[in-house]
Amino acid sequence: MNGVRKQPAEDAPIRSASGVPLPEVAVPEVTVPEVTVPGTAERHPVDPADGPGDGPGDKPAGGPDDRLGLPGEFPYTRGIRPGMYRERPWTIRQLAGFGTAQETNARYRMLLDGGATGINGVFDYPSLRAFDSDDPRAGADVGRGGVAVDLRGDFDTLFDGIPLDEVSVSLVSSQPIGAVPHLAMYVRSAERRGFAPARLAGTSQNDFLMETAITIAPEALPPAGSFRLACDLAEFALRTMPRWNPVSVSGYNYREAGADAVLEMALCLAHGQAVVRALLDRGLAAEPVLARVTFFLSAHSDFFEEVAKYRALRRMWAHWVRDELGVRDPRAQLLRYHVQTSGVTNSARHAHVNIARSALQGLAAVCGGTQSLHVNGYDEAVCIPSEHAALTALRTQYVLLHETGVAKVADPLGGSYLVEYLTDALEERARRVLERIGELGGIVAATERGWVHAELARTAFAEQKAIENGERLVVGVNTQLDGDAEELDRFELPDGSLDRQVAALERTRSRRDREAAGVALKRVARACRDGENVMPAVLDAVDADVTLGELGRVFRDELGRWEFPLWQES
């Protein structure tokens, strides 16, 4: 199926990737006067945020101002800072993790030496799900898809030589059952090197939907138990780690699991709001909580819809904070997020086309105002990124930053009739989904009832059907299939990761104080049963050389095991 194809017939409306009908020509019903952005490549001066309403008497009256404003002003549709990347470039945070801690440490150093400005550390599946590497269910996955960690010592090696008070570290610990021990091990490892928790900057992903709806694992925790662990981690970090973001609501993974842009938005907002309300119920003040809850979003291939998604999300969050929580502090009204280009859109055939695909997705993220970005390696559809692919992706970020001019003005697409139309349309659709989640009793109850699973399955099926029937064309998948399949120099995982992890576990178990480890685990169990915050007990357990898998078993025994609903509520 090659060559240019005609658009659908007139009676079949053209839609965005999430199904929003697109007008043939967007009109300025909800937008503002034309944007004036002087040329850039010809060395003309450029105002930081030239655009509608930038003069004292030039603000559009009525509704549009409330929807748009200026960059750095409520409702932050146009960005969280007046000058955006003129004031602070986005953090270049490339994902990395494979094999053992020693091997991943070398990749971290390579990326930092190559210009990365933050660490985005991903863990293998057993580590995410709190199984030790020598668990019979773990062996096939050890060191694959992420780095294997079982003990505090793994964190010593993982971050050896990295200045933890200077480099922001994202612990991509998706499931709270893993995120809680990972943060405890990271904190104790940092303290041994002289870095107090208050000096550590970074993020725990810590998303209960990852445990219960996205990456279901054997013996998953129930939604309420997983959500409780996530909030325990968040409460601990907010009280002791002022530079740490304790939750990063993972819209990216919802999208990779099949959500469209609207469902990604609604799940993110419902989840973020639930976390904030739970932490306020624990007695924390709203402003510091809101300033530290972050989001992790996807950048897919429908360029304008993705730009509109980020803008609409900022606006919806700001209105919720101000109008429903009554919080007036501007710093607390900002929706802050990291973006990763979409892995599920990458193709194995013609894999180098993924370089173009990811660059355009990264451009959408930056045009939408992200604070942090990961660009995928071109070979990630078939393997962990090779060094060549990882460095190409890293350098793509510098092409965006230095060569495209996109960092020279805030909200460069603001005032585009199409972008403003899509921003409004996505907001309206996401709002309707949010209302449905509210009718179900909130995001935790909606997950328990199977509604989240049903919606993910529905949107994933619609996307796959659109590709299979040719309604949606994807280069290398259902069009432009000419030529031989491209051969890649696939990255090969280091040999022996499993053997090394198992040997380390055996050494630790044989030398540690067994009684102290047992007492520490009982204290964790008691905290689970009594409703205490588990973090202090988990930190003590880490000191007693308790393993990740032993902590995971206690959480499952005390908080329960859950099977996701086969019969789902729509």
Triad 235, 164, 111: Cα angle to 5°: 115
- Residue 91 phi/psi, 5° resolution? -75, 130
User: What is the predicted pLDDT for the residue at 39?
Assistant: 41
In whole angstroms, how large is the CA radius of gyration of the chain? Answer: 24
Please name the helix (run of DSSP H) or strand (run of DSSP E) that holds residue 536, with its range, or none: helix 535-543
Residues in the chain: 570
Q: Is the pTM of this model over 0.95?
A: no
User: What is the predicted pLDDT for the residue at 486?
Assistant: 74
Q: Is 544 helix (H, G, I), strand (E, B) or coil?
A: coil
Q: In sequence order, which residues have a C-beta less than 8 Å from that of residue 570 and are 6 or more positions away? A: 451, 454, 455, 458
CB 293 within 8 A of CB 247: yes
Q: Which of 179, 313, 169 is nearest to 255 (CA)?
A: 313
CB 135 within 8 A of CB 534: no
User: What is the predicted pLDDT for the residue at 497?
Assistant: 87
The Cα 321–Cα 269 span in angstroms is 11
pLDDT tens for the chain, residues 1 to 570: 455 555 554 556 788 888 888 776 665 554 443 444 444 454 545 555 545 544 433 444 344 557 888 999 999 999 999 999 989 999 998 888 999 999 999 999 999 998 888 898 999 999 999 999 999 999 899 999 899 999 999 999 999 999 999 999 999 999 999 999 999 999 999 999 999 999 999 999 999 999 999 987 889 999 999 999 999 999 999 999 999 999 999 999 999 999 999 999 999 999 999 999 999 999 999 999 999 999 999 999 999 999 999 999 999 999 999 999 999 999 999 999 999 999 999 999 999 999 999 999 999 999 999 999 999 999 999 888 999 999 999 999 999 999 999 999 999 999 999 999 999 999 999 999 999 999 999 999 999 999 999 999 999 999 999 999 999 999 999 998 888 777 788 888 888 889 999 999 999 999 999 999 999 999 999 999 999 999 999 999 999 999 999 999 999 999 999 988 765 555
Q: What is the DSSP letter of 514?
A: H
Triad 374, 394, 399: Cα angle to 5°: 100
The Cα 400–Cα 462 span in angstroms is 32
CB 495 within 8 A of CB 144: no
The Cα 15–Cα 185 span in angstroms is 47
- Take residue 309 and report the two structure tokens written for it: 């998604």
The Cα 343–Cα 178 span in angstroms is 23
Cis geometry, peptide bond prior to residue 64 (ω within 30 degrees of 0)? no
The Cα 288–Cα 276 span in angstroms is 10
The Cα 508–Cα 368 span in angstroms is 48
User: What is the predicted pLDDT for the residue at 95?
Assistant: 83
E-assigned strand segments in 285-384 = 293-299, 337-341, 372-374
User: What is the predicted pLDDT for the residue at 115?
Assistant: 87
Please name the helix (run of DSSP H) or strand (run of DSSP E) that holds residue 91, with its range, or none: strand 91-92
